[in-house]
Amino acid sequence: MPTDVVVSSTSPFEQADAPATLKAVNEVTDNEMIFDVGPQTSAQFAEILKTAGTIVWNGPVGVFEHDQFGAGTKAMAEAIAESSAFSIAGGGDTLAAVDKYAVTDKVSYISTGGGAFLEFLEGKKLPAVAILEERGQS
Ligand SMILES: Nc1ncnc2c1ncn2[C@@H]1O[C@H](COP(=O)(O)OP(=O)(O)OP(=O)(O)O)[C@@H](O)[C@H]1O
Ligand SMILES: O=C(O)[C@H](O)COP(=O)(O)O
């Protein structure tokens, strides 16, 4: 769980230059919204990623479209890029982050599906894959 976070009382979806403040997670007040993880948390997540054999990435850790809330997602992208693990990244916004932080070549597999690829990993049957398998057999 995050120990430090980047907050604002203004949403970057309403005001692009919403001011960002770094604080400990237990110091977040009622009027503040969390829009990114802090550097201590990113470092902790990056450490965990170093020990992974397989990494599945679905979802940025912050509102990375606005740079004041992008450091956490950038750190995840870089940790995944440096890792020797087999990495899969999927989902529209995740791929926008992969592109923004220029790590496309360092991710083992890029999936345009987001929710769909998670369902595939869960073992659910995807209709398009099922019909291809069926036709492939006949
Ligand atoms: N704390 C937050 N509050 C609101 N929006 C956030 C927050 N953190 C991240 N986001 C936004 O959520 C979006 C990412 O959505 P999501 O996690 O669904 O990823 P995805 O890659 O599009 O996956 P999928 O394809 O499964 O939907 C980004 O646009 C990001 O700005
Ligand atoms: O629009 C998206 O984010 C991607 O195309 C992922 O779609 P999915 O979540 O329906 O797989």
Which pLDDT value is given to residue 138? Answer: 79
13-46 pLDDT, tens per residue?
Answer: 999 999 999 999 999 999 999 999 999 999 999 9
- Tell me how far apart the alpha carbons of residues 60 and 77 are, in angstroms, rounded to a whole number: 9
Which pLDDT value is given to residue 114? Answer: 94
Q: Which amino acids bring their CB within 6 angstroms of ligand 2? A: 91-92, 112-116
Which helix (H) or strand (E) element contains residue 116? Answer: helix 115-121
Q: Which of 99, 110, 112 to mutate to test the pocket of ligand 2 (most atoms within 8 A of CB)?
A: 112
Domain range summary for the chain, segments of one domain joined by + = 4-137
Mean of per-residue pLDDT scores for the chain: 96
Mean pLDDT of the 39-62 span = 97
How deeply is 81 buried, as exposed, middle or buried, from its count of CB atoms within 10 A (0-12, 13-18, 19+)? middle
Tell how far the Cα of 128 is from the centroid of ligand 1, in angstroms. Answer: 26
Which of helix, strand or coil describes residue 45?
helix
Which of helix, strand or coil describes residue 107?
coil
Nearest protein Cα to ligand 1, atom 29:
93
75-101 pLDDT, tens per residue?
Answer: 999 999 999 999 999 999 999 999 999
Pick the CATH number of 4-137 from 2.60.40.420, 3.40.50.1780, 3.40.50.1260, 3.40.50.300: 3.40.50.1260
3-13 pLDDT, tens per residue?
Answer: 999 999 999 99
Q: Which of 93, 118, 121, 122 to mutate to test the pocket of ligand 1 (most atoms within 8 A of CB)?
A: 93
Task: Identify the nearest ligand to the CA of 28 by its number.
Answer: 1
Q: How many residues does the chain have?
A: 138
Tell how far the Cα of 94 is from the centroid of ligand 1, in angstroms. Answer: 8
Could you tell me how many helices (H) and strands (E) the chain has, helices first? 5, 6
